[in-house]
């Protein structure tokens, strides 16, 4: 069984997010005395903070969206009510979802691998949103097993999430492979339980790693 991460592994999340933020910025920039690049940095800092709170089960998925928007506008001393924050976040969400696209290497790779192996997903995201991503990218049909942190209340890098995925697939960890873009939340923890981790280093990060398989794009998997 070969498991994949979704965001920034299959889905070009960062590009989708940037395009969504740019549209949001154009509509609301009069509230913020920031250039676009600084606004995007602020957005990412706030998003990371509240998404981590969601992963720790301190907030629901919907609550972290609302808190992200309220925190963003607090930067400009504007207090948003929950309903208004939710409306504004949905405006961003429309443009974010509109720009969901797989990387160019994804579909050829999945077609190739699915002829030889069963494929699965292990993701930290919300189940419904992650399923929607797979459907919009037209790749959901390739995956026999899909597990998200939201379903079981455990998130990467907790090794138990990887154990649960292997158990659900009726496979031993040693029989499974996991491919993800984050060395620390994807690859190192999956290898701790005996899975074969492959680090997808799309951004060419200069991190020295020992005994970890590394690829720069999914086309490399066809030569393993």
Which of 98, 118, 150 is the C-terminal boundary of a domain?
A: 98
Cα-based torsion angle of the residue sequence 100, 121, 108, 195 in order, rounded to the nearest 10 degrees = 140
The reply to whether 43 and 123 lie within a common domain is no
Q: Is 31 helix (H, G, I), strand (E, B) or coil?
A: helix
Q: What is the CA radius of gyration of the chain?
A: 18
pLDDT at 222: 81
Could you tell me the residue range of the domain that residue 47 belongs to? 13-98
pLDDT at 1: 96
The reply to whether 186 and 128 lie within a common domain is yes
> pLDDT by residue (tens digit) across 35-53?
999 999 999 999 999 999 9
Phi and psi angles of residue 206, each rounded to the nearest 5 degrees, phi first: -95, 70
Q: Residue 223 above 80 pLDDT?
A: no
Strands of 2-92 (E only): list them: 2-4
> pLDDT by residue (tens digit) across 59-68?
999 999 999 9
The reply to whether 73 and 92 lie within a common domain is yes
The reply to whether 7 and 29 lie within a common domain is no
pLDDT at 187: 97
For position 27, which CATH number holds? 1.10.150
The reply to whether 132 and 180 lie within a common domain is yes
For position 163, which CATH number holds? 3.40.50.1000
Q: How many structural domains comprise the chain?
A: 2
Which of 78, 98, 118 is the C-terminal boundary of a domain?
A: 98
In the chain the first and final C-alpha atoms are separated, in Å, by 15
Average pLDDT over residues 173-200: 97
Paired tokens of 61: 């998925």
Burial of 206 (0-12, 13-18, 19+ CB in 10 A): exposed
pLDDT at 224: 67
Q: Which of 54-63, 193-202, 203-212 is the least confident region? A: 203-212
The reply to whether 164 and 215 lie within a common domain is yes
Nearest-CA neighbor of 134 among 83, 97, 168? 97
> pLDDT by residue (tens digit) across 74-132?
999 999 999 999 999 999 999 999 999 999 999 999 999 999 999 999 999 999 999 99
Omega within 30 of 0 (cis) for the link into 31 = no
Handedness of CA 118, 213, 148, 103 (dihedral sign): negative
Average pLDDT over residues 147-172: 96
Which of 98, 123, 148 is the C-terminal boundary of a domain?
A: 98
pLDDT interval class at 209 (50, 70, 90): confident
From CA 209, how far away is CA 213, in angstroms rounded?
A: 9
């Amino acid at each position: 069984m070969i498991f994949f991460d979704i965001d920034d592994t299959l889905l070009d999340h960062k590009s989708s997010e940037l395009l969504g933020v740019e549209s949001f910025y154009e509509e609301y920039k009069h509230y913020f005395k920031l250039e676009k690049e600084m606004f995007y940095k602020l957005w990412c800092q706030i998003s990371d903070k509240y998404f981590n709170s969601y992963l720790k089960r301190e907030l629901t998925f919907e609550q972290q969206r609302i808190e992200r928007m309220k925190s963003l506008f607090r930067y400009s001393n504007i207090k948003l009510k929950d309903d208004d924050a939710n409306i504004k976040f949905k405006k961003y969400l429309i443009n974010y979802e509109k720009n969901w696209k797989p990387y160019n290497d994804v579909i050829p790779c999945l077609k190739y691998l699915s002829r030889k192996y069963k494929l699965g997903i292990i993701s930290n995201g919300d189940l419904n949103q992650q399923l929607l991503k797979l459907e919009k990218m037209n790749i959901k049909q390739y995956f026999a097993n899909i597990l998200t942190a939201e379903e079981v209340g455990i998130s990467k890098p907790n090794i138990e999430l990887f154990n649960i995925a292997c158990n659900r697939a009726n496979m031993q960890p040693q029989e499974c492979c996991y491919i993800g873009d984050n060395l620390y939340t994807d690859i190192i923890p999956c290898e701790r339980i005996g899975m074969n981790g492959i680090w997808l280093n799309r951004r060419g990060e200069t991190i020295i790693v020992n005994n970890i398989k590394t690829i720069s794009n999914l086309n490399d998997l066809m030569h393993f």
